[in-house]
A and B are shown apart, each in its own frame.
Chain A
Amino acid sequence: MKVYEVFRRERKGQPFEHAGSIEAPDAAFADTWAREQYGRRGESDALWLVPRESIHEITEWADEFDLKYRRVDGYSIKARLKEARERASVAAPDAG
């Protein structure tokens, strides 16, 4: 028996979303069961069946080179902005 992950799309143009999984001895059985379990009320426009072992998952994110300038958390705007405003108020006290 093999586990197939089921992804379903509700309507054309929408992304496929993981819905659940089914267990089947081969792709033909998986096809039949997926239709019954995820499509018989017309709730899906399309299904993807993916054998679980075919999924290559990535969950570890190495950052050896400190590439945080490519992420939103890589910029400490708040502290710098505060400092810049303080300096501006010292330089031009009448502006406030």
Chain B
Amino acid sequence: MDQRTQEFLAYVQDGGQVEATDWLADEYRQRLLKFVEMHANSELMGVLPEREWILKAPTLQRKLALTAKVQDEVGHAQLIYRVAEDLGKPREQMFADLVSGRAKFHNVFHYPTYTWGDVGVIAWLVDAAAIISQKALLKCSYAPYARIMRKICWEESFHILHGRDVILALMTGTDAQRELVQEAVTRWWPPLMQFHGNPIPRDEDPMWIWRIKSQGNEEARQQFLDGYVPQIWELGLTVPDPKLRRRDDGVWEYSEPDWDELRSVVTGHGPRSQDRLAFRRRFLDQEQWVRDVVLAA
């Protein structure tokens, strides 16, 4: 590591933030770009499971709320792709890498949805897990990303409300409705436990070393469990993990998540990975004329 890089590292580790126009260490720029690109891809791909439910939403109010949420998430993708572009990768290239399967997106967006219960659990628990990761970016050493996250986290708070409302409506409904929620929680639990990644110690995690993230993977998972397991239990729902418990010292114990499944899913082998990429590919082609017109303007 040359001296300039060492000084840069010391600066960010001391809480320093950098701007788009500042000199950035090569390794920092590469890791940051990869992370930001995956985040943007996840926002864009994350709307697909929910989009399927706009037509099937149970009431007009829910249909409008879901449409607004989808618009928010696509908007987040736009904001984050812009941050990635400034780090040196053209948007067209990012789209090409996404649809060809070279770039990744979050594991939870590779799974199917079966019922309206899934839509509630996505908006409540998947979004909750995502907000914990996103809040850890508010202190990101890359200031343009941190600023964008302020707006994104603010909008995400609407989504959690929407999710909680959907869940509470079902949980105060018929037995069949309550069953929909329980089935969805059972389905989503394994991907939720994988969501924050393997419990690599913070000091060995390059994302922490470069202060791209302000917390480690396991800290994020513990925060999720601490915030949400009590809420799940309080509604009379169960979590499909017999080992799950909160120790006296406040640490949550749980069964080892299936890391092989996580690896396989994020490399494009999830149950809906290929369908959703095909959908994006089709729309990218179909809307090429729009970009051509805009760029010719």
Interface residues of A (CB under 8 A from B): 1, 3, 18-23, 25-26, 29, 33, 36-38, 41, 43, 57, 59
Contacts and interface: CB of A to CB of B under 8 A. Distances in A.
12 contacts: A3-B86, A19-B147, A20-B82, A20-B144, A20-B151, A22-B78, A23-B85, A25-B297, A26-B297, A37-B75, A41-B155, A43-B154
B79 A36 contact: no
Contacts of B151: 19-20, 38, 43
A26 B293 CA distance: 12
B294 A57 contact: no
Given A29-B294, A41-B155, A22 B82 contact: yes
A82 B77 CA distance: 57
A92 B220 CA distance: 62
Interface in B125-158: 144, 147-148, 151, 154-155
B295 interface: yes
Contacts of A36: 75
Contacts of A29: 294, 297
Interface in B77-97: 78-79, 82-83, 85-86, 91
B295 A1 contact: yes
| SS of B interface (majority) | helix
Interface of B: 21, 75, 78-79, 82-83, 85-86, 91, 144, 147-148, 151, 154-155, 294-295, 297
Given A1-B295, A20-B148, A29-B297, 11 more contacts: A19-B148, A19-B151, A20-B79, A20-B82, A20-B147, A21-B144, A22-B82, A26-B297, A36-B75, A37-B78, A57-B21
Contacts, number: 38
Contacts of A18: 147
Given A41-B155, A43-B151, A43-B154, A21 B86 contact: yes
B75 A25 contact: no
Contacts of A41: 155
Q: What secondary structure prevails in chain A residues at the interface with B?
A: mixed
B76 to A, nearest CB: 9
Nearest to A1: B295
B294 A25 contact: yes
A59 B295 CA distance: 33
Nearest to B155: A41
A37 to B, nearest CB: 6
Contacts of B86: 3, 21
B84 to A, nearest CB: 12
A3 B155 CA distance: 24
Contacts of A22: 78, 82
A60 to B, nearest CB: 12
Nearest to B295: A25
Nearest to B78: A37
Nearest to B85: A23
Contacts of B148: 19-20
B294 A21 contact: no
Nearest to A55: B21
Contacts of A59: 21
A56 to B, nearest CB: 12
A52 to B, nearest CB: 9
A33 B81 CA distance: 14
A21 to B, nearest CB: 6
Contacts of A33: 78
